[in-house]
């Protein structure tokens, strides 16, 4: 699919013709095919799955299973290694609350970084508190990146879990994850990867990475809100006990005992987000029909164009000029990002202001937050120009008070 007329696929632009949407890192826009798929489910076969013994239920169940197959192909895992959760946060918590809870002991170390989103680090922080385990941080380099060199220094045989982001949602840096996973395994640790930002930008192959767990949300890759994915290696999943018990996750139940279903079903108690899972399957088809090469070429071109236009703007600080994933984190010097964001809003430019649920890195940067512009396939050169125009207006406006 060609990207020239891609906006036609995103109806939000019809209802908001002046919209400059630069907040894909928070959530992506959704193409019509994803919305149509969810409507198809509700209007044509909107019944429960894996329960009914009638045709409509078989249809809904087979669509649902097909979507799981699409996710498995998308990340190159096995079908039974894909667990549907509500979002990346729930998936990341699930790893800590199941694998972590069942394996971590007093004195063990969980290794993480200051680049993490709160959802990647807080579940482990709280688990370490309960278990009297130690949460250790890899030192970032001068640019704020995770490097293999510093990772090696922080790794020893006390480390049992590595909880690490694949792409930072503030800096847009890509972690050298393959090497880190290899080193972690050699030291006897498992690796839980937060792929929430990565999944919309490049192909993830869990077999090639050899990661133990990997989490992401559908809504950041043009799918709906309400569904996320937890990948786990089947050798771990088969040993883990579910966190939730209830409908459709069990086989035999009597008054004092229960036998649970095989993976992944034992980890999905209750009626799932059926329409949303189908929407995720459609988002995967949509991404595949474009191809990551085109997605990345487009985002990179916009990112470079924005950096070029910002080059001569005095009075701003950009914190991540070398970001690989088309994110610009910056501040208007001397201005709180929330104050600066007002002028963007007045001009229909949607970007994020604040700590982005990643306070460790904003503290590392020694700022109370940043403005963050993130580009994706539906953005254009005109969006970039409008964004830069408002950056300049911001600088001019606030220079009166400095």
CB of 20 to ligand PLP, least distance (A): 20
Task: Compute the distance between CA of residue 82 and CA of residue 114 in angstroms, rounded to an integer.
Answer: 28
Q: Which residues contact 178 (CB under 8 A, 6 or more apart)?
A: 208, 209, 210
DSSP-derived secondary structure letter, 140: P
Closer residue to ligand PLP in complex, CB, 316/325: 325
Closer residue to ligand PLP in complex, CB, 196/384: 196
Closer residue to ligand PLP in complex, CB, 112/165: 165
> Does residue 273 interact with ligand PLP by CB under 6 A?
no
Closer residue to ligand PLP in complex, CB, 280/388: 280
> Does residue 197 interact with ligand PLP by CB under 6 A?
yes
CB of 194 to ligand PLP, least distance (A): 5
Closer residue to ligand PLP in complex, CB, 72/91: 91
Closer residue to ligand PLP in complex, CB, 88/302: 88
CB of 354 to ligand PLP, least distance (A): 12
Question: Residues 315 to 374: which contact ligand PLP by CB under 6 A?
Answer: 357
Q: Select from 149, 170, 174, 152 the least CA-distant residue to 162.
A: 152
CB of 296 to ligand PLP, least distance (A): 18
- Specify the stretch interacting with ligand PLP by CB under 6 A; choose among 184-192, 193-201, 204-212, 371-379: 193-201
Question: Residues 116 to 135: which contact ligand PLP by CB under 6 A?
Answer: 117, 119-120
Total residues in contact with ligand PLP, by rule CB under 6 A:
13
Task: Compute the distance between CA of residue 224 and CA of residue 286 in angstroms, rounded to an integer.
Answer: 13
Question: Residues 132 to 191: which contact ligand PLP by CB under 6 A?
Answer: 165, 169
CB of 219 to ligand PLP, least distance (A): 6
Residues in the chain: 402
Reported in sequence order, the residue ranges of 123-253 that DSSP labels E, i.e. its strands, are 134-138, 159-165, 190-194, 213-217, 228-232, 250-253
Phi, psi of 135 (to 5 degrees): -100, 120
DSSP per residue over 260-321, as a string?
EPPTTGGG--S---HHHHHHHHHHHHHHHHH-HHHHHHHHHHHHHHHHHHHTT-TTEEES-T
> Does residue 217 interact with ligand PLP by CB under 6 A?
yes
Distances (CA, A) of 245 to 57, 84, 228, 266, 274: 23, 15, 19, 8, 19
Task: Compute the distance between CA of residue 32 and CA of residue 303 in angstroms, rounded to an integer.
Answer: 26
Catalytic positions are: 357
Residues 51-90 as x/- pattern, contact with ligand PLP by CB under 6 A: ------------------------------------xxx-
Structure tokens that stand for 284 in this block: 């995967």
- Specify the stretch interacting with ligand PLP by CB under 6 A; choose among 4-12, 54-62, 112-120, 322-330: 112-120
Closer residue to ligand PLP in complex, CB, 113/119: 119
CB of 21 to ligand PLP, least distance (A): 16
Question: Residues 22 to 51: which contact ligand PLP by CB under 6 A?
Answer: none
The tokens 């994933």 sit on which residue?
Answer: 325
Closer residue to ligand PLP in complex, CB, 9/113: 113
Task: Compute the distance between CA of residue 297 and CA of residue 299 in angstroms, rounded to an integer.
Answer: 6
CB of 269 to ligand PLP, least distance (A): 19
The tokens 């474009």 sit on which residue?
Answer: 290
CB of 357 to ligand PLP, least distance (A): 6
Angle at 173 between CA 169 and CA 174, to 5 degrees: 105
Write b or e for each residue in 325-334: b if 16 or more Cβ atoms lie within 10 A of its Cβ, otherwise e. Answer: bbbbbbbbee
Q: Select from 365, 78, 356 the least CA-distant residue to 196.
A: 356
Q: Which of 194, 268, 276, 282 binds ligand PLP (CB under 6 A)?
A: 194
Which residues of the chain form contacts with ligand PLP (CB under 6 A)?
A: 87-89, 117, 119-120, 165, 169, 194, 196-197, 217, 357
């Amino acid at each position: 699919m060609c990207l020239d007329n891609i906006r036609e696929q995103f109806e939000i632009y019809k209802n908001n013709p002046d919209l400059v949407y630069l907040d894909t890192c928070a959530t992506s826009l959704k193409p019509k095919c994803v919305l149509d798929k969810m409507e198809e489910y509700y209007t044509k076969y909107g019944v429960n799955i894996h329960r009914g013994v009638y045709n409509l239920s078989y249809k809904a169940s087979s669509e649902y299973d097909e979507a799981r197959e699409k996710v498995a192909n998308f990340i190159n895992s096995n079908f039974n290694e894909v667990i549907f959760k509500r979002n990346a946060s729930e998936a990341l918590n699930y790893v800590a609350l199941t694998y972590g809870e069942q394996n971590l002991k007093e004195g063990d170390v969980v290794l993480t970084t200051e680049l993490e989103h709160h959802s990647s680090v807080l579940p482990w922080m709280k688990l370490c508190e309960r278990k009297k385990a130690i949460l250790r941080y890899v030192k970032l380099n001068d640019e704020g990146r995770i490097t293999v060199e510093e990772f090696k220094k922080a790794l020893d045989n006390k480390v049992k879990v590595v909880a690490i982001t694949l792409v930072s949602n503030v800096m847009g840096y890509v972690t050298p994850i393959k090497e880190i996973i290899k080193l972690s395994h050699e030291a006897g640790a498992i690796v839980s990867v937060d792929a929430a930002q990565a999944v919309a930008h490049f192909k993830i192959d869990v077999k090639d990475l050899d990661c133990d767990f990997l989490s992401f949300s559908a809504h950041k890759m043009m799918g709906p809100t309400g569904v996320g994915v937890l990948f786990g290696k089947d050798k771990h999943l088969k040993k883990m006990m579910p966190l939730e018990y209830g409908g459709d996750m069990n086989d035999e139940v009597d008054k004092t005992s229960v036998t649970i279903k095989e993976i992944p079903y034992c980890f999905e108690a209750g009626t799932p987000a059926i329409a949303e899972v189908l929407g995720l399957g459609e988002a995967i088809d949509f991404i595949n029909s474009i191809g990551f090469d085109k997605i990345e070429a487009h985002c990179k071109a916009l990112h470079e164009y924005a950096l070029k236009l910002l080059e001569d703007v005095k009075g701003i600080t950009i914190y991540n000029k070398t970001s690989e994933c088309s994110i610009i984190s910056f501040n208007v010097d001397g201005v709180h990002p929330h104050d600066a964001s007002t002028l963007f809003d007045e001009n229909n430019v949607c970007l994020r202001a604040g700590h982005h649920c990643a306070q460790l890195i904003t503290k590392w940067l020694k700022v109370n937050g940043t403005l963050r512009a993130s580009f994706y396939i539906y953005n254009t050169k005109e969006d970039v120009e409008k964004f830069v125009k408002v950056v300049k207006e911001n600088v001019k406006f606030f220079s009166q008070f400095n």
